[in-house]
Amino acid sequence: MGGYFQAYLRNASIVLDHYRHQEPFSVFLKQFFRLEKKYGSRDRKVITDLCYGYLRLGHAIDKISLQDAIVIGYYLTHNTDNGFLASVKPEWSENILETLSNKLKFIKRLYPDFQPNSIFPGISDLSPSMDVEKWTLKHLSKPGFFLRIRPGNTDKVRAVLDEKGVVYDLLANDAIRIHSNLDLSEILMIDKDCLVQDIASQKTSELFSNISIPIQSFWDACAGSGGKSIMVHDLFPHAKVFVSDIRDEILEELKRRFRIAGVKAEKTFCNDLTHPMAEQVIKSNLPSQGVDLIIADVPCSGSGTWGRTPEWLTSFEIPSIESYSRIQKIILTQLTGQLRKGNFLLYITCSVYEAENEKIVSYATENLPVELIKAEHLSGEEFGGDHLFAALFISAL
C-alpha cells in the first residue's frame, strides 16, 4: 500500500505543477481528471485532498520543495492519517493528534524556511478588529457545509436528515452544519425546504433587527444567484422583490431558484452599477417612490471566503484591493442616490480587508447622504464558515 501513497504524492505534484491559476482550482481539477481517465474515485479523492492541503499553506512554503510542502500540508490539516503519512513520513504519523501549535513548532524545527505568518496575504491590510494569527491559521482547517432551513420546514428537514443518518449540528436561526459528505439534493428539496448558505451569510439577517419600519419592498442590487434575496423574502414575505446583477447568466440561475423557492420578483434586470447609464436603468425598473431597503453584496476581494478557495492565498494581488475599493465607492454613491428619507441600505462584503470594510463606511458617512446604524464583522470561523462584513445605513435626506 505504501507504493500507492508514494504514487499519490507524485501525482499531486504533477497536478499542482500544471496549475497556472487561470481558473478556480476545482474547475482545473475536474478538467485534469476528465483528461486523465486512469484515476479511479479513490485516487481522485486522495490526490485532491493532498493538493488542497498544499494550497492552504499559501506563501508559507515558498522556499520548500513541492513534495515536502504537500506532506507538510497534509500533516497540518489532518488529525487522522489515512495511511499517507505512515507511508511517506512514518515518524510524523505518530504525532498526528498533536495540537496545531505543536505541529507548527515541529515543522519549523525541520524546515526553518517555513513561515506560517505568510499563509494569508496582506495581513497588514486586515480590518483592525481581526485577530491576525487566528485568522491566518484558520486556513489550515477544512471549510464547513451549511444549510439554512426555510420557515416552517425545520421538523421536515431534520426528520429527513435523521432518517438518512446524516450527521449534523443544529445552530442558531435554523442553521445546520452538515458533517457528512453527500449530495443533499438527492434527499432534500434544495431552495424549497432549505438553502445551501454559509453560516456567516446567514448572519447578515441579524442586522435587520435594527430596521425600524415595516419593509414593504426591497431591491437586491448585486443579487448573484439569489440566496440572500430568498433569505430576505423569508424575513419579509409580503415585501415586493426587485433584483438585479451585472451578469445575465447568473440572473437565469436566480430565476430558476426563485421558481423552486416560490419567490415572485416584481422586476429582474441586468445592470452595471458602475456604468454611466446605471441610474437610468434603475429608474426604469424600480418604483418611482423607491424601495424601503436596498441590499448591496458588492464585488470584493472575496478574502473572507478563501478557506474554500485556498488557491487565492498565492494568486491574489494586494494592489487589487484598492481597485475593489474604488468600485465599492462608485456603487455606494449610485445606490444612496436611489434612497428616500428613512430608507435603508445594507452594505455587505465577504472581505477581511479594512479598505473594503471600515474605510468604505467612513467614506459613506463622510461623503454620502446616509447615517450609519450598525457595522459588524460576521464571523463563521468557529464553525468552519466564511467571514463577512456588513454595515446598515439609513438615508439622511
Q: Which of 61, 84, 119 is the last residue of a domain?
A: 119
DSSP at 39? -
Q: 243 and 382 share a domain?
A: yes
Looking at residue 172, its pLDDT comes to 77
Q: 226 and 271 share a domain?
A: yes
Q: 332 and 389 share a domain?
A: yes
125 belongs to a structural domain? no
Domain, as residue range, for 179: 145-196
Specify the CATH number for the domain of residue 328.
3.40.50.150
Beta bridge partners of 353: 126
Tell me how many domains the chain contains. 3
Looking at residue 249, its pLDDT comes to 96
Looking at residue 123, its pLDDT comes to 95
Query: Residues with Cβ < 8 Å from 378, sequence gap 6 or more?
Result: 200, 203, 204, 206, 387, 388, 389, 390
Looking at residue 115, its pLDDT comes to 96
Q: Tell me which H or E stretch contains 93.
A: helix 90-93
Q: 224 and 298 share a domain?
A: yes
Q: 175 and 35 share a domain?
A: no
Looking at residue 212, its pLDDT comes to 87
Can you list the positions of beta strands (E) in 181-304? 194-196, 217-220, 240-245, 265-270, 293-297
pTM of the model: 0.95
Looking at residue 37, its pLDDT comes to 86
Q: Which residue ranges of the chain lie beneath pLDDT 70?
A: 1-2
SS3 305: helix
Q: Distance of CA 87 to CAs 4, 40, 59, 108, Å? A: 9, 20, 26, 22
SS3 386: coil
Type of residue numbered 139:
H
Q: 369 and 228 share a domain?
A: yes
Q: 258 and 178 share a domain?
A: no
Q: 181 and 226 share a domain?
A: no
